[in-house]
A and B are shown apart, each in its own frame.
Chain A
Amino acid sequence: MEDPLRIEFNEWAKAGRGESMERGHRPVGEQAIEKMGVQLDAQVLDVGCGSGWAARLLANKARSGRVVGIDISDEMIRVAREASIAFPNLEYRVASAEDLPFENDEFTDAFSMESLYYYADMSRAITQIHRVLKPGGLFVTVVDLYLENEPSHQWIETLKVPVHLLSIPQYSALFVDAGFGEIRTERILDPSPVPEDYIGTSFKSREDYLAYRAAGSLMVSGRKR
């Protein structure tokens, strides 16, 4: 049976939602990537890369290294690839985070933006990411949907696929269980203005949107020992 996540994100790709996801996530994603301190010769994995906007930011950092983006949606990977022709150090694979198609100890850094909570078995995915990182390798994830950000909970009923709603301590515990050390959690704020006349689809009201922005995105990072 085809993965429901794949079906859903193929629909998103066909509807052109890769671009709106980039607009929504980039202000925070850029800050997280700056904090990673990616080296010129880094080997970076972007897990759940979608349309590849973060993978391209990472490829600009790891100019003499390599970035591999994976996503369960072949349609997203198609969009990502077409937008990344100018990046010789960036490649894409259709793959599942729960069964990563890489040997052990291959990457110096891993990044995952707004993706982890969609995975049926989050623990397995984080353990797989730990497996493919080299010792000392850094994993940074950013999520907007988490327990302490209450306005984000309204997405759960509108999404067509099941998601996990975890608290900040639960995220930390998943990192500990996967074997990561130096675990840090941090809120990152999106500085871009919220329109006065906001009537978007992500939030029921402008007040909810402002409260969501005030809570911020959650960044969790850990290092393979």
Chain B
Amino acid sequence: MAISQDLLEILACPACKAKVELKPDGSGLKCVECHRVYPIRDDIPVMLIDEATIEDEEPAGNS
């Protein structure tokens, strides 16, 4: 995964400007507030609101 940790720290959700976190499987960046998931394609994060999917909270106790 070519997403550097320090750049991840300054990335924010383009919709609500909250923090985004790398999904455990590396497939996208998920906003901690609005739960939009921005896809990572060929290692390039696509930070477009139109391209995001909204993912529900993962069920508790799943990990």
Chain A residues near B (Cβ < 8 Å) = 1-3, 66, 68, 70, 72, 74, 77-78, 81, 91-96, 99-104, 106
Across the interface, do B50 and A3 meet the contact criterion of CB distance under 8 Å?
A: yes
Given contacts A2-B50, A3-B50, A99-B49, contact A93 B10 (CB under 8 A): no
Q: B14 near A: Cβ within 8 Å? A: yes
| Smallest CB-CB A-B distances: 6 pairs | A101-B47, A99-B14, A101-B14, A95-B47, A94-B46, A103-B12
Using C-beta atoms within 8 Å of the partner chain, give the interface range for chain B: 20 to 34
Chain B residues within 8 Å of A102, by CB: 10-12
Chain B residues within 8 Å of A74, by CB: 41, 44, 46
Instruction: Give the complex CA separation of A2 and B49 in angstroms.
Output: 11
The proximity string for B residues 6-37 relative to A, scoring 1 for CB distances below 8 Å and 0 otherwise, is 11001111110101100000000000000000
User: Which chain B residue lies CB-closest to A43?
Assistant: B10
Instruction: Give the complex CA separation of A100 and B31 in angstroms.
Output: 14
Ordered by A's residue number, 11 sampled pairs between the chains whose C-beta atoms are within 8 Å are A3-B50, A74-B41, A92-B44, A93-B11, A94-B47, A95-B47, A99-B14, A99-B49, A100-B14, A104-B17, A106-B10
User: Which chain B residue lies CB-closest to A80?
Assistant: B44
Instruction: Give the complex CA separation of A156 and B20 in angstroms.
Output: 38
Across the interface, do B44 and A103 meet the contact criterion of CB distance under 8 Å?
A: no
Q: B42 near A: Cβ within 8 Å? A: yes
Which among B7, B43, B49 is the interface contact of A68 at CB below 8 angstroms? B7
Instruction: Give the complex CA separation of A68 and B19 in angstroms.
Output: 18
Chain B residues near A (Cβ < 8 Å) = 4, 6-7, 10-15, 17, 19-20, 38, 41-50
Chain B residues within 8 Å of A95, by CB: 14, 47-48
Which among A1, A78, A92, A101 is the interface contact of B11 at CB below 8 angstroms? A101
Chain A residues within 8 Å of B12, by CB: 101-103
Q: A1-B50, A77-B44 are in contact. List 9 more A-B contacts (CB 8 A).
A: A3-B50, A66-B6, A78-B44, A93-B45, A95-B48, A96-B48, A101-B14, A101-B45, A103-B12
Chain A residues within 8 Å of B19, by CB: 103
User: Which chain A residue lies CB-closest to B2?
Assistant: A91
Chain B residues within 8 Å of A106, by CB: 10
Given contacts A68-B7, A91-B4, A91-B7, contact A103 B46 (CB under 8 A): no
A173 to nearest B CB, angstroms? 26
Chain B residues within 8 Å of A3, by CB: 48, 50
Chain A residues within 8 Å of B45, by CB: 93-94, 101
